[in-house]
Amino acid sequence: MTAPPLPAVRHVQTDILILGSGGAGLFAALHAHQRAPDLKITVAVKGLLGKCGCTRMVQGGYNVALAAGDSVERHFMDTIDGSKWLADQDLAWTLVSTAVERVRELENELGCFFDRNPDGSIHQKAFAGQTFDRTVHKGDLTGIEIINRLAEQVWARGIDRLEEHRAIELVKTPGGDALAGVLMIDMRSGGYVFVQARAVLLATGGGPTMYKYHTPSGDKSCDGLAMALRAGLPLRDMEMVQFHPTGLLAGSGTRMTGTVLEEGLRGAGGWLLNGAGDRFMSRYDERAERATRDIVSRSIYREMRDGRTTPNGGVWIQMHHLGADAVRRQFKGMVERCADCGFDLAGGRVEVVPTAHYMMGGVVFSPDARTPLPALFAAGEDTGGVHGANRLGGNGVANSTVFGGIAGDTMADWVRREGAFRAPDADAIAAAVARAEAPFALPRGDLESVREALYDSMWADVGILRTAGSLQRGLQRLDELDAQLSRTGVADADRAFHMGWHDWLNLKNLVAVSRVIAVSALAREDSRGAHFREDFPDTGALDTSHYIVVRQRGDALDLAREPVRFTRVTPGQTLLAAA
């Protein structure tokens, strides 16, 4: 029997194509437009522009050294210490120094209103792991403020939008020496579109949604990282997955499970209690509940593993000893969110569990947002190297807006200088369409069970506490799940908003990226930041630190260890004395 012909692919052109409309994508669009208003700029996004992704979900705020007594050098040292000396120091320096101009741009050019002190200066609050209160915020809805203002500005300019367009493959030239464009699915019709572009930004925002409990938005399934992997690009620090210690645990029947109860609760004096009612954190760290995210997450996980759990299998957070009225006043949003799920945060106890929050790892890129593949640029949570082994709360949205803006500038200059339209490899487009079509030719199966198995395996074997044995078990399970997916089809029905099909594509990408996480975690035989090996609990020598780089070659993953270059400060030194 001959295979049915592949569906047609519509071709369109744009000078600059931006994948994703989070802080990185929208800032890139605005900067590219400002730098080169005559260029055709298109933002392609899996959801609706301004309504999807994680930047919109930012609660806590934005780190930037603004206040008297703080300094860019201090912010840098906090970032490097937080990274356990694995961060690329030039990227980290670019982050902290450019954040100062970026936050002014957000306020003065884009119209964001951040909370203020009585004297009119911007209010900055404390966040864990920082030696100065530097987190700029708009109540606990900072992300909505930032994304709404960015989206309005994008709408007001002549920037094109391809909404509900899902990127599925980075397509190179026939020789493979540069990117020619991106293959997408128009989710509204289910048709294929090839967007030929002179420069492309990868800004799809990572997102560890392969874990049983996770915080990122549902549109994120590591698509950008999986596409980069298939295109042979190097990914670094992929073993570094940050867990937020207090995700809401509201049972399995609600999407609210896994969503974040903010760090300020612990900061304000909240207690964590195990299922037996014991306040356990001081057994693990003298700072008790105020220890850093990684330590608190590990401690909770240990209590859970030892069986001292609440009815839904987590631990309790308790605030009422601080006074129920005070809690209601100070944490209005959190109190309401908990009430929606039947919990009384102010007067009772709420069940919580560590929840996968952020991927420090991603595509290797340079401070001007270039990747090793000419014509491909990257910014935001799709990139690696800015945060090393741990991201400070508040450095995530700074990262996406800082490097998004830089990417916009760089792409505009690149297009002017050397950005011709390049012919795509037609065979690569056909192969990518065939891959996406594969599930229609397979017998229908149960994707939900694959997803549940992925969640469980990543949580139990590649999660907060790891050993060689658990990681090998996880890798074997991932191979099985990949094979199971390759046998599991979806209904050959109307392609418009065919969510089963998109689920299949999501799971394929999540499994591929999960393998990179597991392989990197197996290779790192020490414990740093978010990565903890019970069989290698020591941090290892900081001055010979290395980071792990993974590339896909054929079906295999190639792994390399690269020495960290201490370009600005070496372990044991600080920039502060000189500042």
Ligand X SMILES: Cc1cc2nc3c(=O)[nH]c(=O)nc-3n(C[C@H](O)[C@H](O)[C@H](O)COP(=O)(O)OP(=O)(O)OC[C@H]3O[C@@H](n4cnc5c(N)ncnc54)[C@H](O)[C@@H]3O)c2cc1C
Q: Is 98 in the site for ligand X (CB under 6 A)?
A: no
By CB under 6 A, is residue 502 in contact with ligand X?
A: no
32 binds ligand X (CB under 6 A): no
Q: Tell whether residue 400 is a contact of ligand X (CB under 6 A).
A: yes
Provide DSSP, 304-368. HHTT---TTSSEEEE-GGG-HHHHHHHTHHHHHHHHHTT--TTTSEEEEEEEEEEE--EEE--TT
Residue nearest ligand X by beta-carbon distance: 22
Specify the residue for token string 């002014």. 104
Residue carrying structure tokens 């030194």: 573
3-state secondary structure of 101: helix
CB of 21 to ligand X, least distance (A): 4
Choose, by CB under 6 A, the member of 234, 394, 439, 474 that binds ligand X: 394
Question: Near ligand X by CB under 6 A, which window of 219-227, 265-273, 460-468, 548-556?
Answer: 219-227
Residue with tokens 């009384």: 344
Stretch that binds ligand X, among 17-25, 86-94, 188-196, 365-373 (CB under 6 A): 17-25
Length of the chain as a residue count: 579
Residues facing residue 339 across a β-bridge: none
For residue 215, state whether it binds ligand X (rule: CB under 6 A): yes
Name the minimum Å distance from CB 466 to ligand X: 23
Give the distance from CA 36 to its chain's centroid: 29
Residues 6 or more apart whose Cβ sits within 8 Å of residue 336:
none
If binding is defined by CB under 6 A, does position 78 make contact with ligand X? no
Cβ proximity to ligand X: between 273 and 432 the closer is: 432
Task: Select the residue interacting with ligand X from 18, 41, 47, 154 (CB under 6 A).
Answer: 47
**Residues facing 213 on adjacent strands:** none
Note if 56 is an active site residue.
Answer: no
Calpha distance 533→297 (Å, rounded) = 14
Which among 48, 36, 30 is positioned nearest to 157, based on CA atoms? 30
**Quick check: 204 binds ligand X (CB under 6 A)?**
yes
Least distance to ligand X, CB of residue 545, Å: 23
Q: Which of 15, 42, 53, 529 binds ligand X (CB under 6 A)?
A: 53
Cα distance between the two ends of the chain = 73
Cα 334 from Cα 354, distance rounded (Å):
17
Q: Applying CB under 6 A, which part among 71-79, 335-343, 363-371, 389-397 lies near ligand X?
A: 389-397
Q: Out of 153, 395, 457, 514, point to the residue binding ligand X (CB under 6 A).
A: 395
Nearer to ligand X, 205 or 245 (CB): 205
Q: DSSP string spanning 50-115?
A: TTSSSGGG--S-EE---STT--HHHHHHHHHHHTTT-S-HHHHHHHHHHHHHHHHIIIIIT-----
Query: Looking at beta carbons only, is 77 or 260 nearer to ligand X?
Result: 260
CB of 283 to ligand X, least distance (A): 28
Q: Among 14, 16, 21, 280, which residue interacts with ligand X (rule: CB under 6 A)?
A: 21
Verify binding: residue 44, ligand X, rule CB under 6 A. Answer: yes
Binding ligand X (rule: CB under 6 A), the pick from 57, 77, 273, 338 is: 57
Q: Of 78, 82, 56, 81, nearest to 65 (Cα)?
A: 78
| Nearest alpha-carbon partner for 223 in 409, 434, 415, 22 | 22
Cα(269)–Cα(260) distance, rounded to whole angstroms? 17
List 377's β-bridge partners, or say none: 201, 370
Among 14, 42, 55, 297, which residue sits at the site for ligand X (rule: CB under 6 A)? 55
What is the identity of the amino acid at 532? F
CA 550, CA 28: separation in Å to the nearest integer?
27
Candidate list 75, 198, 266, 391, residue with the active-site label: 266
Binding test (CB under 6 A) with ligand X, winner from 78, 81, 219, 303:
219
Residue nearer to ligand X on the CB measure, 81 or 303: 81
Closest CB 362 distance from ligand X, rounded Å: 9
Rounded to whole angstroms, what are the CA distances from 193 to 49, 162, 499? 18, 10, 18
Q: Is residue 54 a contact residue for ligand X (CB under 6 A)?
A: yes
Q: Which is nearer to ligand X, 292 or 545 (CB)?
A: 292
CB of 316 to ligand X, least distance (A): 21
* Burial (Cβ within 10 Å: 0-12, 13-18, ≥19) of residue 315: buried
Instruction: Kindly tell me which of 411 and 522 has the beta carbon lying closer to ligand X.
Output: 411
Stretch that binds ligand X, among 45-53, 152-160, 363-371, 552-560 (CB under 6 A): 45-53
d(CA 120, CA 101): 18
Q: Is 310 in the site for ligand X (CB under 6 A)?
A: no
Candidates 15, 28, 60, 114; binder of ligand X (CB under 6 A) is: 60
What sign for the dihedral angle of Cα 318, 324, 330, 332? positive
Our CB check for ligand X shows the closer of 33 and 137 to be 137
For tokens 């896994």, the residue is 258
Under a CB-based contact definition with an 8 Å cutoff, are residues 299 and 276 in contact?
no
Site for ligand X in 157-196 (CB under 6 A): 166-167
Number of residues interacting with ligand X: please give it, by CB under 6 A: 41
Q: Coil, strand or helix: which one is 40? A: coil
Residues 356-385 that bind ligand X (CB under 6 A): 358, 380-381
Please identify, using beta-carbon distances, which residue of 323 and 333 lies nearer to ligand X: 333
Q: Which helix (H) or strand (E) holds 170?
A: strand 165-172
Q: Is 208 helix (H, G, I), strand (E, B) or coil?
A: coil
Residue type, 101: E
244 catalytic, yes or no? yes
CB of 401 to ligand X, least distance (A): 8
d(CA 318, CA 331): 13
Among 14, 16, 18, 23, which residue interacts with ligand X (rule: CB under 6 A)? 23
Catalytic residue among 198, 214, 236, 244: 244
Active site residues: 244, 266
Residues that bind ligand X (CB under 6 A): 19-25, 44-47, 52-55, 57-61, 166-167, 203-205, 215-216, 219-220, 223, 260, 358, 380-381, 393-398, 400
